[in-house]
Amino acid sequence: MYIYNVTVNIEESVHEEWLAWMQDHISEVLNTGKFISAKLTQVLVEEDMGGITYSIQYTANSREDLDEYYKEDAPKLRSEGMKKFADKMLTFRTELKVIKEFYPTSVNN
């Protein structure tokens, strides 16, 4: 599995509007069929530049799904946010490859 992580710092003046838009945007990304889930999280850090920082993590089953998203869907979906919030947000993207997931084991007393 792969995680496509988008980190966004959004100005407080448009924060509420962006947050509402982002929830619809996440649904649009998921509806491409390239991802199996998404998480919207707030990064708990105070930025020197101000604003509120979020991380959106999309999980893809394969590298091929991620590459297809970049080729077929990303340009259009990215441009929507840039048109709406261009000078009010700063974004960067990272990719993570899941090596193994761990879960707690039950402990019997």
Structural domain spans, the chain: 2-97
- Edge to edge, the sheet with strand 52-60 lists 37-42, 52-60, 2-10, 89-97
| Chosen CATH of 2-97 out of 3.30.70.100, 3.30.1280.10, 3.40.50.300, 1.10.8.350 | 3.30.70.100
- For the question of whether the overall pTM of this predicted structure is more than 0.75, the answer is yes
pLDDT by residue (tens digit) across 65-99? Answer: 999 999 999 999 989 888 989 899 999 999 999 99
Q: What is the pLDDT of residues 22-39, one digit of tens each?
A: 999 999 999 999 999 999
Reference 90, options 14, 34, 28; nearest CA is 14
